[in-house]
Structure 1
Amino acid sequence: MLNTETPSSLHTALDTYPTATLTAVLIDDQYHAVRAVRAVAARIAQAVDAALPRIQAGGRLIYAGAGTSGRLGVLDGVELLPTFSWPNERAIGLLAGGQQAMFIAIEGAEDNTEQGAADIAHLQPQADDVVLLIAASGTTPYVLGALHAARAAGALTIGLANNPATPLLLTAEIGIGLDTGNELISGSTRLKAGTAQKIALNTFSTALMVKLHKVYGNLMVDVKPTNVKLLRRTVSLTMHATGHDEKTCRRILEECDFHVKTAIVALQRRISVSAAGQLLEQHRGDVRSALESAIPDAPHMYHRADEKLSP
């Protein structure tokens, strides 16, 4: 029997606990998720380093899973657009049972190996694509079908599972075993197994975005301002990074369609928004590199005299 399916010997009278005790026990059990992910930090780092050149070459992040695992994959990919301006077409979530399975449990969808392979094949994967395959059991047929199709296409495959030495971990190019053990409520892998998957996916995708220069210092400077809250955030991020006042930052942000990276470089280097964009392009979007580089002493690159910024 898989570890995640084995009944726990702890709290066998869970259904009799007072509410305060019940909630405390459920929360405390989640600490195992953090420890499980921390134990494979080196494997996650290996996955990031293997994925980076492929993504830099134009590859896509493709997530494949079923049930809770699949939904966590979809969630991770969807959040990359507003957080890091990562295009939706380069973060694709495949879920057993299709889009409707995001909201309704589709019984039996996870057992379809052929559909997993077909869903991957439909995307026409290439060698630069990175496919993350997520299954608590490590044996889910849909995910294994997707895995074999992705490997056959030459894509990088990264498997995440909560049971050691399972087919997913043994067959993926990089297997990340999140050994969370048995669940407090037997077999309910939406508990700490799911938490560990969420932490691992967050860690992988965030580290990858940092390596892609989507972060300056610890500021998310490639944020996509898709709502009022994020629009305000672009202003506060620019103020924090440059030390300039709100009025100045907002004016420069308006010139560059609220692209924080461009605003920071323009303000810090005292150059035009256009020149800042060119400088960032030359340095592959790396704000730090753009700020530290030499720039030509060309008058057209600077703000007009009436736009000069105070020190």
Structure 2
Amino acid sequence: MTPSFGIMTAPQQVGYDDLLRVWREADAVAAIEHAWLFDHLMPIGGDPDGPVLEGWTLLSALAAQTGRLRLGVLVTSNRFRPPAMLAKIAATADIVSGGRLDFGIGAGSRPSHPLARREYDAHGLPYHDQADAVAALAEACTVIRRLWTSPEPFDFDGEHVRLTGAFGNPRPVQRPHPPILIGGRSSATLRVAAEHADLWNIPGGGDIADVAGRSALLDRFCTEIGRDPATLTRSIHLPVDYDRPERTREQIGEAAGAGFGHVVLGLPSPYPEGVAQWVADELIRHRLS
């Protein structure tokens, strides 16, 4: 399997000009097919009081400054924005990009991360337990897809989402809608991915047997609902070490061998000059040669 390769530039501890430079560089490098931001409102690494740019606003800005890359947020916290509002934001980004959006979403509320809780409290956002967050994600995926595709207004009366006269106009450029990428590793999230996702993403860089086991569980959940597991692309995020490219190449090979056909290479800042070409030469082409 030859994966598709992309980059992820976390918009924390870095300025817009540097991010724009890297995305423009990547847009000119054919070996890099997609580019991603993350969705946090406060830093989860480095100076806890350092700068963070809001992911979806930034994504539209970068979409307007690029022309080829597929792009997205890896992944949106479903708890940060009401789903109907998120559907509108994402449709706008797809229009601005000319139909290049891959819509990444997850449950949010990551209790395993030591800094996860504070960004919710600091912005007046509810912090729910995992079961509640995953149930809300499933409803959100249903509502967002309907807002992108329904030809007429509709009502929705769920446990977590209630809408009256909901209608999305304009629709996204892509038909029937932008691909949906769901990120996460919990069994409950994998069940949501089996039902709703076109791509599923998991952080890598550690034990490949662990992520392969999660992928096998996703296979099982797909089979249980009558879906061909092969219709759900497996995506993995791999951190890049500029000083040890051979380790990243090794991880790419392991991921490809485990069936991951979509690789997102996480670039730490500060970004070296020409980093996109370096990724293509040292990680992608070198690995595939």
> Could you say which structure has the greater relative contact order, defined with CA pairs below 8 angstroms and 6 or more residues apart?
2
Which structure dedicates a bigger proportion of its chain to helix? 1
With normalisation by structure 1, the TM-score equals 0.27
- Larger Rg: 1 or 2? 1
- Return the structure number with greater strand share: 2
TM-score (norm 2): 0.29
